[in-house]
Every structure is written in C-alpha cells, then in structure tokens.
Amino acid sequence: MEELKRKAAYKAVKEIRDGMIVGLGTGSTTKYAILKLGEMVKNGLDVVGIATSLESERIAREAGIKVADINDYESIDVTIDGADQVDNNLNLIKGGGGALLREKIVASCSKREIIVVDESKIVSSFSFPLPVEVVKFGWKRTAEKLAKLNLKPHIRHGFVTDNGNYILDCEYDKLENVEEMEAEINNLPGVVENGLFIGLTSEVIVGKKDGIEIMRKK
C-alpha cells in the first residue's frame, strides 16, 4: 500500500512548476509528495510552501522547502493533499490526522486541489467516521447537538489540534445530502469545522496495483 501512495504522490508533484505557491497537505501519502518536492527544490525548483499542519511544516522545512504564512498570499496555485475517503463525485472525508481546519482553509484558497490516495480510499458511499473540530468549551453540549443530526460523536482521546481544539469523530449509518450536512454541522455553536470537503477537489490521483488512475470533475 505504501508503494501505491508513493506512486500517486510522485505523479502529483509533476504538476509543480517554478514560481508556484504550493499547499502542502497532511498525512502519510502527502509526506511522500513533500519529500519529493524537497528533492526538486534541491535541484533548483523555486517554490513557496503553505503548510496545513505543524507536522507538514516541520517535514517541509527539513526537506529544504521555503514555508510561508498563508496570510501573505491571496491564492495558492496548487495544493497536494490526501483524504480518508473519496466518493464518485470527488467529495471527501478528511481529518483522520486532525488537520481538517487548516486543510479546508488552504483548499478553499487553492486554484487546484489535487488529492493523492491509494485505491482503498475510493468508495461509492462514505463509511469513515466524520471528524468534527470543536472548541473545548462546552464540547459535550456540542456533541449532544451533533447526536441530534443522527451522528454518534466520540471524543478523540488525548488529542488536541494545532488550533487548540478537540476532535469529535462521528459514526453514522449513512451520510446523505452531504452538501447540506456540511453546512448544518458547521452551523452548530461550538463547531469550528468538519471533515466533509464538498466541491473543493480538482482531481484525484489514485495509486492502484496496475498503475495510476486520475479522477476529474465530470
């Protein structure tokens, strides 16, 4: 599986050109992309990275990539990120690594959002527990409100996000009307952001045993 992730990540990095502002996602697959990008920088590529987590920033700096603050740039040329699950409409569930808030901010500012995954992440319907980032104050009350949306939230024990918040991982029987669900969850007091990424993805690069598949918006 690691080889499939690496293939997908290396394919995505081929899209990077001199002078680009590049969003650097978070997770095991994206790490391969960051390290490869670091090799390209050492060979003369001139790019600026916008990291979606403290961990990705650390990896990027160690790889020799110049990392900047997103506030200094109006837009990002290309972001390479991973996903926990991808459906047939290129909607995503993200946040298994806990970086969903920064990942969604970066995705929303990107001209292109390239998702790199192995083939196990492609699904016809979501099943991965939906991460919801919530403020610490009153998190149990926020969890009760999430439960009224037919979600079953569980605190991610021992975990605090880079933003100082908690993650509630929400199980469910089925996620329907995901666009409405994303908005409904984010409307709850105490919710900072949730892991439904709707309509943000330009393309998905899938590492498969028999090669690479590229999924694009229909």
Residue with tokens 């990424």: 197
Side chain identity, residue 153: P
Give the pLDDT confidence score for residue 1 in this predicted structure.
Answer: 74
For residue 112, the model assigns a pLDDT of: 96
Q: Which amino acid is at 3?
A: E
**Is 144 known to be catalytic?**
no
Angle at the Cα of 130 (from 217 to 139), degrees rounded to 5?
140
Alpha carbon distance 118, 85 (integer Å):
10
Q: How far is CA 109 from CA 106, 143, 156, in A?
A: 5, 29, 28
Q: Tell me, what's the pLDDT at 217?
A: 79
> Which of these, 180, 170, 162, lies nearest to 143 by C-alpha position?
170
Q: What is the reported pTM?
A: 0.96
pLDDT of 47: 98
Q: Which of 3, 57, 62, 103 is catalytic?
A: 103
Point out the residues of the chain with pLDDT beneath 70.
218
| pLDDT score of 133 | 98
Q: Tokens representing 95?
A: 């946040």
Give tens-digit pLDDT for 170-180.
999 999 899 99
Domains annotated for the chain, with CATH where assigned, are 2-124+198-209 (3.40.50.1360), 130-194 (3.30.70.260)
